[in-house]
Amino acid sequence: MARLPRLTLAGHLHHVIQRGNNRQPIFGDSEDFELMLAVLADNAQKYAVAVHAYVLMGNHFHLLATPSTADGLPQMMQAVGRRYVQHFNRRHARTGTLWEGRYRSTVLEPERYLLPCMVYLDLNPVRAGLVAQASDYVWSSHAHWLGRRTDRLLTPHALYWALGNTPFAREAAYAALAQAGVGSKEQAALTQSVLSGWALGSPGFVDELQQRTPRRVSRGRAGRPRSAEK
């Protein structure tokens, strides 16, 4: 069966993951992490992609982003991938591919999943046992949304602004969400959706997406369609 094209829709929230080939490390040291953030920031601006959250792990990274055009996200990811691999291979005296094929992504219903997915990304290093709490990890957007640093890569989503009327109120509200965490069912849904490429949201949201693209946005029922009852 032919592989479905990625689901990419302008103006919609996308969850993206890119993995290292055979789960090998894609960051060797802080210089690699910093270069990836700089390359992401430059190309997000170039291709009009608003990045709302990210986490860079040892062998993969996640983004939560809204592209302004249908081609913006693929163009950004292609440019980032090429530029970063050139740097990484030259710096670490290696050749060949770095990525596990093409990046994976899906579309999320923001009202249901923007904030949970931001927390999901923040807690990735905690789940991996790298840090005790999200605020201890340097290579994520967590500190920016808590007001502890300014990150030029990031663009706030309207739903983040809605957390409070002042920066302090928004930061406190988001800190409380991160402290509460994400339930196992929601975590599994976020993981499965980005790996499978199926949209994640309410039935109405998924139906609305399907009207905008010929590409299937959700997994169909197995087996042959049932005939109408006589």
Residue of 70, 133, 62, 71 lying closest to 103 (CA atoms) = 62
By residue range, what is the domain housing residue 106? 13-203
Task: Examine residue 228 and state whether it is found in any structural domain, yes or no.
Answer: no
**pLDDT over 90 percentage in the chain:** 89
pLDDT at 225: 39
Which positions ≥6 away from 145 have C-beta within 8 Å? 53, 118, 154, 160, 170, 171, 174
Q: What is the pTM of this model?
A: 0.92
Nearest to 13 by CA among 95, 88, 108, 96: 108
Whether 85 is in a domain gets the answer yes
Would 69 be classed as within a structural domain?
A: yes
So what's the pLDDT on residue 29? Answer: 96
Overall number of domains in the chain: 1
* pLDDT tens-digit series, residues 193-223: 999 999 999 999 999 999 999 999 998 633 3
* Residue owning tokens 């807690």: 123
Q: Which pLDDT tens digit goes with each residue over 28-74? A: 999 999 999 999 999 999 999 999 999 999 999 999 999 999 999 99
Q: What is the pLDDT of residue 52?
A: 98
pLDDT of residue 210: 94
pLDDT value, residue 220? 67
For residue 86, tell me if it sits in a domain.
Answer: yes
Structural domain contains residue 177: yes
> 71: domain CATH number?
3.30.70.1290
What's the pLDDT score for residue 1?
42
pLDDT digits (tens, 9 = 90+) for 65-106: 999 999 999 999 999 999 999 999 999 999 989 999 899 999
